[in-house]
Amino acid sequence: MREMTLIVMIALITFFCRALPFVIFSGQKQLPILIVRLEKKLPVTIMILLVLYCVRNIQFGSVSGWLPLCAGTLATVLIHLKQKNVLLSILAGTLVYMLFVQKIC
């Protein structure tokens, strides 16, 4: 019973967080000008923060704490700058990362 309550509760909390901005601005026909301008600028800000979130556990104490992350990131960036093919960049970057994690570090 505790498990079921927990799942329902956390499902509701998660939905609440996702819904909050929609609820706050639901009554307004015209969005505040500030939000309209933020709409265009926020995505790249959030995406770079999500990238940082993914690599947040980087550690400079040992080589295995930073080298695989740096190598994978660098590979993804360089290949994507050259080729502009999302899937290719992702697979190549991941392969480099796996290689470093499994074989090198």
**Rounded Cα distance, 72 and 50, in Å:** 16
63 binds another protein (CB under 8 A): no
Q: Build a one-symbol-per-residue string for 3-32: x at contacts with another protein by CB under 8 A, - elsewhere.
A: x-xxxxxxx-xxx-xxxxxx--x-----x-
Residue bearing tokens 């800000």? 45
What is the smallest separation between the CB atom of 15 and another protein, expressed in angstroms? 5
> In terms of C-beta density within 10 A (0-12 exposed, 13-18 middle, 19 or more buried), how is residue 58 classed?
middle
70 binds another protein (CB under 8 A): no
What is the smallest separation between the CB atom of 50 and another protein, expressed in angstroms? 5
47 binds another protein (CB under 8 A): yes
What is the smallest separation between the CB atom of 103 and another protein, expressed in angstroms? 10
Q: Which of 48, 63, 70, 104 binds another protein (CB under 8 A)?
A: 48
Write out the two tokens for 40: 């265009």
Classify residue 55 by its DSSP letter: T
Q: What are phi and psi of 25, to 5 degrees?
A: -105, 15
